[in-house]
């Protein structure tokens, strides 16, 4: 008969326990980041409107599953967890709700619970617009004073928790990092509350792969955002009504424009962007005059090599992606036709011929 009294019991070592705890902590952190991005990012970049009906007595699980099936949210699990976390699962209202897939999970939950029926307003901040233009839209809607908003963007030290702001130069502002999107804002918000929403959106959309790509290229986030803002201004056009093919063409143009600018930066050739000079003057001209081009201004990229001192607007995710991963191209010149389409050239002679053809 075996003597069990002499069997040795083995216990996990301290090293094994520590390794297990570390793995659990890493997994929990990864899940938290993933869930955060799901809650504060939308399913699509472009609006796709739905009228969504919730029958009386429908469970949270069924509602979440149907939202995911319709492509309005990307994760039913995250929707349910967030509703429970906010203690609003029982507040979701039966009836018809106007939703679209450009809304975040948090915004959709606000609509379904009626939170935005009283003191909230839905606003779209347009891709490529400057902070001054955002400020005007916000003030007109009664969200926040334009002057206070513009004063707060000059204090990036108040937002030190955002790692992507670490590359800001001395006296840099939040221009360029105010992510253009559709938001729900409380009326009479503080400037900081509004800016946190915009910076949270940038943080969620500026994907880890983009950040890693910049690191691999030994490039700064601030420089990429500055370049993206120029791309947005040079190759931006009304995206309403564009087909999927049109959007793909626009994305390709932006990557090619990014490639042209990177080619110029590599050899110390001026960027010669009309949009950068327009930022300093406050004008948005399709073409500059000879007098404009000769003017002395830090944003005059005809007279000064390299990037301008700051971003010249707040770029879309598409332009950010183009700036981070520009096309490898032989083109050195481009122009924008009156309809906004970009036309490219390898030589000055080709570029001059394009100008004569399209800018008469």
Radius of gyration of the chain from its Cα atoms, rounded to whole angstroms: 25
- Residue 135 within a domain: yes
pLDDT, greater one: 242 or 127? 127
pLDDT, greater one: 38 or 258? 258
- Residue 5 within a domain: no
- Residue 1 within a domain: no
Mean local confidence (pLDDT), 311-336? 95
Where a domain ends, among 89, 113, 137? 113
Are residues 166 and 287 located together in one domain of the fold? no
- Residue 10 within a domain: no
Q: Where are the beta strands (DSSP E) in the chain?
A: 49-54, 95-100, 120-124, 182-186, 333-336, 342-345
Where a domain ends, among 79, 113, 147? 113
Percent of the chain with pLDDT over 70: 82
- How far is it, in rounded angstroms, from Cα 117 to Cα 137? 20
Residue 358, exposed/middle/buried by CB under 10 A (0-12, 13-18, 19+)? middle
- Residue 44 within a domain: yes
Are residues 29 and 105 located together in one domain of the fold? yes
Are residues 52 and 161 located together in one domain of the fold? no
Whole-number average pLDDT of the chain: 84
- Residue 270 within a domain: yes
Would strands 120-124 and 182-186 be described as parallel, antiparallel, or unpaired?
antiparallel
Give the pLDDT confidence of 176-232 residue by residue, as tens digits: 999 999 998 988 889 999 999 999 999 999 988 899 999 999 999 999 999 999 999
Looking at the structure of the chain, the number of domains it has is 3
What's the CATH code of the domain at 185? 3.30.1490.480
Instruction: Give the residue numbers spanning the domain of 344.
Output: 218-235+246-358
Minimal CA–CA distance to 60: which of 93, 99, 36? 93
Cβ neighbors of 319 (< 8 A, separation 6 or more) are: 127, 128, 228, 229, 231, 232, 235, 236, 254
- What are residue 166's phi and psi, to 5 degrees? -65, -25
pLDDT classification of 50: cutoffs 50, 70, 90: confident
- Residue 83: C-alpha distances to residues 48, 187, 332 (Å): 23, 23, 52
- Residue 100 within a domain: yes
- Residue 76 within a domain: yes
pLDDT in the model for residue 27: 46
Are residues 167 and 70 located together in one domain of the fold? no
> What is the DSSP track for 47-110?
--EEEEEE-TT--HHHHHHHHHHTTS-S-HHHHHHHHHHTT-GGGPPPEEEEEETTSBHHHHHH
């Amino acid at each position: 008969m075996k003597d069990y009294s002499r069997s040795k019991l083995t216990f996990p070592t301290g090293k094994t326990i520590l390794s297990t705890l570390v793995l659990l902590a890493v997994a929990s952190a990864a899940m938290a980041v993933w869930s955060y991005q799901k809650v504060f990012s939308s399913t699509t970049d472009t609006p796709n409107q739905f009228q969504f009906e919730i029958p009386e007595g429908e469970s949270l699980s069924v509602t979440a599953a149907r939202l995911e099936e319709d492509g309005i949210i990307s994760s039913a699990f995250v929707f349910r967890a967030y509703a429970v976390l906010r203690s609003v699962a029982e507040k979701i209202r039966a009836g018809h709700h106007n939703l679209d897939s450009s809304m975040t999970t948090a915004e959709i939950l606000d609509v379904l619970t009626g939170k935005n029926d009283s003191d909230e307003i839905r606003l779209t901040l347009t891709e490529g617009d400057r902070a001054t233009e955002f400020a005007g839209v916000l003030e007109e809607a009664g969200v926040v004073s334009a002057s206070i908003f513009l004063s707060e963007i000059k204090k990036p030290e108040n937002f030190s928790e955002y790692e992507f702001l670490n590359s800001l130069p001395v006296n840099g502002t939040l221009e360029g990092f105010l992510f253009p999107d559709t938001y729900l804002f409380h009326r009479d918000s503080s400037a900081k509350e509004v800016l946190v929403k915009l910076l949270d959106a940038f943080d969620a959309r500026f994907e880890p792969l983009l950040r890693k790509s910049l690191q691999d290229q030994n490039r700064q986030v601030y420089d990429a955002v500055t370049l993206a803002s120029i791309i947005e201004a040079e190759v931006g056009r009304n995206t309403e009504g564009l087909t999927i093919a049109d959007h793909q063409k626009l994305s390709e143009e932006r990557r090619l424009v990014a490639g042209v600018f990177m080619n110029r930066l590599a050899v110390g050739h001026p960027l010669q962007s009309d949009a950068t000079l327009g930022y300093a003057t406050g004008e948005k001209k399709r073409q500059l005059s000879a007098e404009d081009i000769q003017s002395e201004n830090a944003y005059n990229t005809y007279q000064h090599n390299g990037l301008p001192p700051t971003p010249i607007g707040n770029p879309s995710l598409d332009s950010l992606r183009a700036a981070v991963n520009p096309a490898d191209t032989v083109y050195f010149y481009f122009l924008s036709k009156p309809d906004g389409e970009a036309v490219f050239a390898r030589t000055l002679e080709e570029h001059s011929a394009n100008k004569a053809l399209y800018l008469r």
